[in-house]
Amino acid sequence: MTVLDDIIAGVREDLAERRQQVPLEDVRAAALAAVAPLDAFSALGAGAPGSLAVIAEVKRSSPSKGPLADIADPADLAGAYAAGGAAVISVLTEERRVGGSPAALDAVRAAVGVPVLRKDFTVDAYQIWEARAHGADVVLLIVAALTDAELSSFLALTHELGMNAIVETHTAGEVERAVAVGARIIGVNVRNLKTLEIDRGVFAPLAGLIPAGTVVIAESGVRDATDVADYAGNGAQAVLVGEALVRHRDPAATIAEFRTVGRAAWDHADAPAHG
């Protein structure tokens, strides 16, 4: 069993418990009554190169490194992210491996006026309705965890609810699958979810396979401004950053720095255009 398989097994167990506590009918009603979602596609640049957006994560722990930061107040951290210019704030809600919770999502949603990503391992439509009920504007769909039918169905439901989805890929085959279902926002995760190892070198060739007009996100492996510049120079329109922010004393300043560096990389004459 791979790391991803193990995580998903736990996600399914926790999901079964939540379904017993809150029936799908109730979750749907709450989702439909929620305030209309914000437009994350536009916030991330709507597929137009020229700047770099930062997706900043509220992340207490990670499957690869364990505890990262004791985040006493997710809303306070999210406020700092927004002050630094984060385009989207990602809130991890998986509990077993990353110490997340729907309560953290609720707190962040109430505190900021930018789009919020409910970052979890989506394996059932229930979770998409649940995300909307908690005020999320974006969900994560991991190609490696879904069949083509599930990916297509989940993406359609996401759009039906007015939300956006980051469709996460790790290989050329997964990029092809994401494009085939009409993904408008595609993330290239340089972390292998089967082994948790990072290889930043996979980003550029995979980004080059993504059609123009699609928002391209570099996920994982951002240590500092040098990594951000490298990703932007190879076609990233956004970077998803967790550890480098939650461990920094001034996350707002770090986000501002990343945006400046990314913009400079895009302005550089040899910044390639994907697709």
Q: Which of 94, 130, 174, 219 is catalytic?
A: 219
At a CB cut-off of 8 Å and minimum separation 6, what does 13 contact?
Answer: none
Minimal CA–CA distance to 245: which of 77, 21, 115, 121? Answer: 77
Question: Is 234 annotated in the active site?
Answer: no
User: Rounded distance, CA 78 to CA 84, Å?
Assistant: 10
Check 62, 164, 220, 234 and give the catalytic one: 220
Active-site residue, 150 included: no
Return the number of other C-beta atoms located less than 10 Å from residue 244's C-beta: 21
Helix, strand, coil percentages for the chain (3-state, nearest 5): 45, 15, 35
The verdict on whether 189 is a catalytic residue reads yes
Among 61, 94, 164, 168, the active-site one is 168
Instruction: Decide if 4 contacts 193 (C-beta within 8 A).
Output: yes
Q: What are phi and psi of 230, to 5 degrees?
A: -65, -45
> Of the residues 61, 62, 90, 119, which is catalytic?
119
Phi-psi region of 180 (alpha: psi -120 to 50; beta: other; left: phi over 0): alpha
CB 196 within 8 A of CB 169: no
Q: Which amino acid is at 242?
A: G
59 included as an active-site residue = yes
User: Quick check: is 194 catalytic?
Assistant: no
160 is catalytic: no
CB 151 within 8 A of CB 186: no
| Known active-site residue 65 | no
User: Annotated catalytic residue: which of 61, 164, 189, 192?
Assistant: 189
Positions marked active-site: 57, 59, 119, 168, 189, 219-220
